[in-house]
Amino acid sequence: MDIQTWRDARERAVDAAEAVRVALAALGLPENVWRGVRPVVTHKGTAYVHVGMVSADAAERLAEAVRPPASADR
């Protein structure tokens, strides 16, 4: 992989990691939940965000935030 490919992937990963950190903080989760969120670039140049292990409480709050609202028709 060339350096520009890595830089582009790294920029995407950094931006995405920051977006996750901001979203977790906006949910009122403490810094110890989101400070471990890290950008990662694979050797093939794929951008990822490593979230790591979170408490069950934090995972439940995150799931509630991303779960689509229940349909009023049900």
Residue pLDDT, tens place only, 4-33: 999 999 999 999 999 999 999 999 999 998
Determine the pLDDT at residue 13.
98
Q: Where are the domains of the chain?
A: 3-66
Determine the pLDDT at residue 73.
58
Range 13-22 contact pairs with CB under 8 angstroms and sequence separation of 24 or more = 13/39, 13/40, 13/41, 13/47, 13/48, 13/49, 14/39, 16/47, 16/49, 17/49, 20/49, 20/51
Q: Which residue has the higher pLDDT, 50 or 72?
A: 50
Determine the pLDDT at residue 70.
79
Strands 38-41 and 47-50: antiparallel
**Mean of pLDDT values over 50-74:** 85
Determine the pLDDT at residue 21.
95
State how far the Cα of 9 lies from the Cα of 5, in Å rounded to an integer.
Answer: 6
